[in-house]
Amino acid sequence: MRKCSLSNLSAVFDKISENLALYIPVDTNGGAKFEKYESGMVMSEALNTVRSAKDFFFPQIEDVAAFKVEGKNIEVVDTRVIKDDFVIFGARACDVKAFEVLDNVFLSDPVDSYYANRREHGIIFALSCSKPVETCFCNAFGIDCTEPKGDVSMWKTESEMYFKANSEKGEKILALVADLLTDGEEKVVESEKAKTKEVLKKLPLSNLSPDKFGGGKTKEYFDDPAWKSLSESCLGCGTCTFVCPTCQCYDVKDFNTGHGVVRFRCWDSCMYSDFTKMAHGNPRLTQLERFRQRFMHKLVYYPENNNGLFMCVGCGRCLAKCPISMNIVKVMKTLGGKN
């Protein structure tokens, strides 16, 4: 266990950024977001960034290929770029857990080489939560926000930041800043963790449980009449999917540059009426069907195919950002409360 004073944290940032790209959460007019560190930047005190750290590994827009066209000759251009190592500093336990969900999708055969390249080079400094808020419910999905599982785990007190390496990548970065760190006391970290757990017990969603969901529940919930009332207020705006750290739907499109074609992929949403639209039309014609698909996927379909792992990490972003306050918690309470 190592530590540094918060007053010296900028020196740690400067040392890391001299050697590789460093991203920290900073305050902006639109809320906290990860930005590439430049000397003098101040780390945000916000519990979570508006958008998750997912963007580093599965960006909203990315080129996947290009085509040079000369007459009838077409040359395929590989647009992949081998990334250098980079550090994400301050990801929370919920976002780190979300990487496990994404890994199951993008690192299973056939492996998504774009995602794999970024995961290989990303180094995650995960920060424990000390002030969880009313929209938090990560504990419902077995996540301990006081024990974040990154390459380095971190705990913050009023005056110090504590570090513990969990991987070889993490050890290398801590060795890089070793002269700025001193030995830390385990008992201080344990005390901070205990304080946070007392706060968690008092949160309004502390007793939320997914036990009534999971694999094998499709028949039980698919035709439940509650979907109608739940989906009626949904605007289909897709906000929930774009702030969600585990959503991975995307579309692939071609853009004619005038001297060739660029093929790119961009995030899509199962809440949109044209999602998965094919020549014969859309397989989900109604808002009810699209709404049901989103929550059945997170609570039933995904865990059925991934050893019980739910596709929600309880970060609370959808609760905070939905314009009509319709979210996965309401779905769980409505459907699960009947059984």
- For residue 154, report the phi and psi dihedrals to the nearest 5 degrees: -135, 150
Confidence tier at 321 by pLDDT (50, 70, 90) = very high
d(CA 35, CA 314): 24
- Please give the pLDDT value at position 12: 97
Q: How confident is the model at residue 82 (pLDDT cuts 50, 70, 90)?
A: confident
The answer on pLDDT for 338 being more than 60 is no
The per-residue pLDDT for 146 is: 97
Exposed, middle or buried: residue 148 (CB in 10 Å: 0-12, 13-18, 19+)?
A: buried
8 A C-beta contact, residue 118 and residue 57: yes
pLDDT for the residue 210: 96
Pair of tokens at residue 90: 């301050």
The 10s digit of each residue's pLDDT in 132-142 is 999 999 999 99
Q: What pLDDT sits at residue 280?
A: 66
Determine the average pLDDT of the residues in 36-58: 95
Q: Nearest-CA neighbor of 318 among 28, 98, 51?
A: 51
Side chain identity at residue 173, one-letter code: I
DSSP state of 82: P
339 has pLDDT over 60: no
pLDDT at 247 over 90: yes
Is the alpha carbon torsion for 106, 107, 108, 111 positive or negative?
A: positive
Distance of alpha carbon 52 from its chain centroid, rounded? 4
Q: Which of 334, 254, 240, 338 is nearest to 291 (CA)?
A: 240
Hey, which residues does 252 pair with through a beta bridge?
A: 265
- pLDDT class for 29, splitting at 50, 70, 90? very high
| Pair 95, 38: CB distance under 8 Å | no
Q: Percent of the chain, pLDDT > 90? A: 87
Query: What's the mean pLDDT in 43-70?
Result: 94
- Give tens-digit pLDDT for 271-285: 888 887 766 666 777
54 to 1, 94, 303, 327: CA distances (angstroms): 27, 11, 20, 20
Does residue 36 have a pLDDT over 60? yes
CA distance 99 to 96: 5
Q: Which residue has the higher pLDDT, 279 or 38?
A: 38
pLDDT at position 279: 63
- What pLDDT is recorded for position 282? 66
- The CA distance from 84 to 112, in Å, is 18
**Which pLDDT belongs to residue 337?**
76
Residue spans per domain, the chain = 2-58+81-201, 218-246+270-336
User: What are the backbone dihedrals phi and psi of residue 168, each rounded to the nearest 5 degrees, phi first?
Assistant: -65, -40
